[in-house]
Amino acid sequence: MNADHTLKKEMLRRYLKSDVDANLLDFVVENAHLIPFWPSERLCDRAGVDEGQMLELIRAFGMESLVEFKDFMRILLYHEPGGDGVVKRPLSGLVEEMIRNEQQNLRDLLAGMDYDRLEDFTQDILSASEVIVTGMGSANPFVGYFCKMLNKLGIAARPMSGVGDILVQLYNHDRSTLIVTFGFARYSKNAVLQLRRLREWGFRIVGITDRHDSPYAALSDYYFFLPVQCFDFVDTYTTGMTLINAVLLNIGRKDPQKLVANLNNYDAIAEDFGLFF
């Protein structure tokens, strides 16, 4: 263990209220800069423990929840001597670790890719009278990009946000409309209530989310799991954009002539309106 890890280990020991497994403490030391940003599922998986064992670790530090523990770790990283939050680390190291983090996200996405489900998603989009894409907070970039690209391919798609607006607009809407919803922790209570109501009304829903036990997964006809391990306090969009692009490319494969015609039409409209220079 290097000097930096030794310092962090001693720093953590000062806060322990009871004994903790030495290997688990080493894990916390080695991953201190990532723990505040890992969801519980990812944290337990990386530590090789179940949720009960993780709770024992948290209680050893005198806390009762993962949220408390993450806040505690974040304070240590940014304020305590020996912490190594981003404010104390060289830029080159941050960039290298961020890229390694994104590479791992992509490897996890590839390992878990369900091509049959991806094909079903493509067919559902092509069969729908319209595609409504929803998402709140950090999911907004996915919503805008997906709608823009579907429209570019000649598929009627539009974003929709605001719980009240969505329910009012869709109450009497054609039930052949496909709802695509992006949702990541921490989940919006209003968005979940909205999804539950849309499901009761008979809409087909496809969820794209970051946990297999998320409410978006439970309320969707089927869902895609996105590995979205963020680096420190920034968000990640790599796997989400990759999944979207895979769907778009698969749509293009279905009818190459229509694809070319739609792209040419888009370029003609852009030229007529002088969108680019």
CATH code for position 230: 3.40.50.10490
> For residue 95, is it within any domain?
no
> For residue 135, is it within any domain?
yes
Rounded distance between C-alpha atoms, residue 107 and residue 122, angstroms? 22
- Residuewise pLDDT in 10s, the chain (277 residues): 444 556 567 777 778 888 888 888 888 888 877 788 777 877 888 889 988 888 888 898 888 888 888 888 888 776 655 445 555 567 787 788 789 889 999 999 999 999 999 999 999 999 999 999 998 888 889 999 999 999 999 999 999 876 566 777 777 788 899 999 999 877 778 888 888 999 999 999 999 998 888 899 999 999 999 998 776 677 889 999 999 999 999 999 988 888 888 778 777 766 765 655 5
Q: Are residues 74 and 120 in the same domain?
A: no
Rounded distance between C-alpha atoms, residue 268 and residue 263, angstroms? 9
Domain assignment of residue 231, given as a range: 114-272
Q: Are residues 75 and 191 in the same domain?
A: no
Q: What is the pLDDT of residue 224?
A: 97
SS3 category, 190: helix
Q: What is the pLDDT of residue 1?
A: 46
Instruction: Express the helix, strand and coil content of the chain in percent, nearest 5 each.
Output: 60, 10, 30
Q: Are residues 197 and 64 in the same domain?
A: no
> For residue 102, is it within any domain?
no
Q: Are residues 121 and 185 in the same domain?
A: yes
Query: How many folded domains does the chain comprise?
Result: 2
Q: Are residues 195 and 264 in the same domain?
A: yes
User: Hey, how many other C-beta atoms are within 10 angstroms of the C-beta on 59?
Assistant: 15
